[in-house]
Each structure stands twice: as structure tokens, then as C-alpha cells.
């Protein structure tokens, strides 16, 4: 299918970002598939140190799909309770209405929390490229940066995992992934410069070596990110 044909029908994608809005190859593929992206940043940059904001979320039923990105906070932190609860309600409304949701890292954890799973501190935090086993759209090396992990809902189907954590699950029209298919070396460098260097060093990692590793994967990951969106739209979102 050509790009021109992909753009013949415009649909609306609600992109929920918490502390960042960039979704790289994931967002690009949605656009190629005919989606108009509408972004909502939950936490303004001047509130990152005090993230307990009140948020008036849009109605997910006004959209054809929802993409929920990562965050530097924990789902269970009291700091973010003011907006986590209404965002969980948004995810519940989307599920009831059959609106497909794709959750990445924190977004995947929110899907678990919303639908009967839970989010817990990980005994094996993952930073940098890690191997994931699973279905073809999920299997491979993906960049990670998380200290929590999700416990999938009891009725979910796990489609990706590694020794550290469940890495992907499907539940009705919801896809949750623990890894970051949307990031490249430039975006990870932003994380490193925003406090991530200290975090990496605390895990025994050299930030520059980590960035070189991420950069070596950029071209391949962009192709695989597109395939992951195709899997979401063609199989998960259609309920196949």
C-alpha cells in the first residue's frame, strides 16, 4: 500500500504525553496510516518538580485511537495521584467504547492498572537496549528505561517478555509495551542530560557508551516501530 493510499482517510489519534511528547517512529507511522495526531501534555515543563496538577482530559470517544507515552514518575506515586485517577478513567472509557489504546512504558503500566493488573517496583530495572522475546512484532532489541514493571491483567495475553519483566500484553483492543519503541539516540540523549546520566551511572553504565549502543539501533528500530504500529492497527485495534 502506498503512502498516498494510506492518507486517503484521515483519522484522529489522541497522543497523551506526560513529561515529553515526542513519539518518533511510532507517531510517524500513525501519520503514514492516515492519522491526524492531537497532542496533550499532562505536566507542563514548569511543574516537573511539582507534578500534582489537575487535568481536564479529552473524551477518548472523540478519537479513533489513543497513544499513551512514558513518564518519569511511578503510577502509584502520591505526587501524581491528582491526574493518574482521571487518566485511568479515560482508559476505562476508551476500553468500554472499543477505542484502541497503545500504551508505552508508563502508558503500558497505566493500561495494566486500569484493567485489573498492577504496577510494582521492579527488582531488575532496565536501562538501555535489552532483548525481548515474543511475537514477531515485539521480539528484538528495544531501548528501555524503567524502574517499575507491570503485572498484566489476569485476562490479558502476554505477547512479549524477558527475564526482567513482562514486556507486552494485549487485552481486547489495548496493547501495552514496557519498552520504548518510539525513542532514538537523540531522545535518549535528552533523558541523559535531564538527570538520566546519574541514573545510568548508578546502574554501572557509561552514558556515552549507552548512547552509542542506542544510536547503532536507530535505523532498524524505526522500521520495527512501524511494524509494531501496523500490528496494533491491523490486529489489536480490529480485535483479531
162-194: pLDDT as tens digits: 999 999 999 999 999 999 999 999 999 999 999
- From the list 18, 27, 87, 105, the catalytic residue is 105
d(CA 122, CA 109): 12
The helix (H) or strand (E) run that includes residue 38 is strand 35-41
The residues near 31 (Cβ < 8 Å, ≥ 6 apart) are 37
- From the list 18, 115, 146, 180, the catalytic residue is 180
Question: Which cell numbers hold the place of 204?
Answer: 554501572
Domain boundaries, the chain: 3-120+148-183+225-236
d(CA 171, CA 115): 9
Q: What is the pLDDT of residue 10?
A: 87
Active-site residue 212, yes or no? no
Q: What does pLDDT average to over the chain?
A: 95
Beta bridge partners of 119: 150
d(CA 30, CA 47): 29
Beta bridge partners of 151: 118
Q: What is the pLDDT of residue 189?
A: 95
Active-site residue 180, yes or no? yes
Q: What is the pLDDT of residue 7?
A: 45
49-101: pLDDT as tens digits: 999 999 999 999 999 999 999 999 999 999 999 999 999 999 999 999 999 99
d(CA 121, CA 223): 31
Question: Which cell numbers hold the place of 162?
Answer: 524477558
Q: Identify the architecture of domain 3-120+148-183+225-236 in CATH.
A: 3-Layer(aba) Sandwich (3.40)
Active-site residue 27, yes or no? no
Given a cut of 50, is residue 3 above it in pLDDT? no
In this prediction, residue 240 has a pLDDT band, given cuts at 50, 70 and 90, of confident
d(CA 174, CA 239): 9
Q: What is the pLDDT of residue 25?
A: 96
Given a cut of 50, is residue 6 above it in pLDDT? no
Amino acid at each position: 500500500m502506498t503512502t498516498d493510499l494510506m492518507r486517503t482517510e484521515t483519522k484522529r489519534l489522541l497522543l497523551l504525553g506526560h513529561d515529553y511528547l515526542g513519539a518518533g517512529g511510532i507517531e510517524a507511522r500513525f501519520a503514514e496510516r492516515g492519522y491526524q495526531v492531537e497532542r496533550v501534555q499532562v505536566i507542563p515543563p514548569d511543574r516537573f518538580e511539582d507534578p500534582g496538577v489537575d487535568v481536564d482530559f479529552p473524551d477518548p470517544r472523540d478519537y479513533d485511537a489513543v497513544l499513551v507515552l512514558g513518564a518519569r514518575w511511578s503510577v502509584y506515586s502520591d505526587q501524581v495521584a491528582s491526574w493518574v485517577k482521571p487518566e485511568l478513567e479515560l482508559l476505562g472509557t476508551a476500553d468500554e467504547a472499543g477505542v484502541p489504546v497503545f500504551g508505552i512504558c508508563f502508558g503500558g503500566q497505566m493500561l495494566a492498572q486500569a484493567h485489573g493488573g498492577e504496577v510494582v517496583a521492579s527488582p531488575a530495572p532496565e536501562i538501555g537496549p535489552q532483548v525481548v522475546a515474543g511475537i514477531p512484532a515485539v521480539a528484538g532489541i528495544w531501548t528501555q528505561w524503567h524502574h517499575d514493571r507491570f503485572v498484566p491483567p489476569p485476562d490479558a495475553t502476554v505477547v512479549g517478555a524477558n527475564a526482567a519483566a513482562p514486556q507486552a500484553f494485549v487485552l481486547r483492543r489495548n496493547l501495552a509495551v514496557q519498552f520504548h519503541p518510539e525513542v532514538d539516540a537523540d531522545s535518549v540523549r535528552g533523558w541523559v542530560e535531564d538527570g538520566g546520566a546519574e541514573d545510568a551511572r548508578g546502574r554501572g553504565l557509561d552514558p556515552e557508551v549507552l548512547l552509542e549502543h542506542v544510536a547503532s539501533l536507530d535505523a532498524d528500530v524505526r522500521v520495527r516501530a512501524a511494524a509494531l504500529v501496523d500490528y496494533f492497527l491491523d490486529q489489536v485495534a480490529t480485535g483479531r
